[in-house]
Amino acid sequence: MDDLFPIKIENAQAMIAFGEQIAESLKAGDVVALVGDLGAGKTHITQGIAKKLGYLAEVTSPTFALVNEYVAAKPELIHFDLYRLEQAEELLEIGWEEYLERDAVLVVEWADRFPELMPAGTICIHIEHVEGGRELFYSKI
C-alpha cells in the first residue's frame, strides 16, 4: 500500500475510486484508521472500500449510530465514526474489542481521537485539505 501514497485527490468521485483501490489490498482483520478534518473525504473513502468489497447499497457516516455494519460486503465491513465520543471507555462499551475479533474489515473515522485503542498494524490514512483538493498520507500504527 505504500506505493499509493502520498497522493493528491481533487474531488469526491476520485476519493471514492481511491477507496476502491485501497480495498484491493484489504483482508478480514484489517483496521483502517481515517484521520482528517470535517469534510475531508473519510466517508467517500469508505464508500469506495464498501463498493470494492461488493456492498452496493448506500454507505453513510455513522455519526449518530457510531457504527454501521455492512454484512453483505465480502469480507464484512464495519464502519465506525468516533467523532461524537468523548472518552475511550465509550468505544469499549459498544463492544470495540469484540469487533476487533470479527472476521471483518474495520474502517474507523476520527480514529485519532483514541489512538491507544487502535491495534498494532492499523493502516492509518491522513487526509489534509490542500489547494485544489486533498492530499493523503499513509502510516501504520
- List, for residues 83-141, the tens digit of each pLDDT value: 999 999 999 999 999 999 999 999 999 999 999 999 999 999 999 999 999 999 999 88
In terms of pLDDT, which residue wins out, 19 or 3? 19
Q: How is residue 121 annotated by DSSP?
A: T
Fold of 8-130: Rossmann fold (3.40.50)
Domain coordinates in residue numbering, the chain: 8-130
Whether the pLDDT of residue 78 is over 80: the answer is: yes
Strands (E), the chain: 7-9, 31-35, 67-70, 76-81, 104-109, 123-130, 133-140
Residue pair 49/105 in contact by the 8 Å Cβ criterion:
yes
Cis? peptide before 119, omega within 30° of 0: no
Residue pair 63/84 in contact by the 8 Å Cβ criterion:
yes
Task: Give me the pLDDT at residue 2, please.
Answer: 76
Whether the pLDDT of residue 50 is over 80: the answer is: yes
Task: Give me the pLDDT at residue 140, please.
Answer: 87
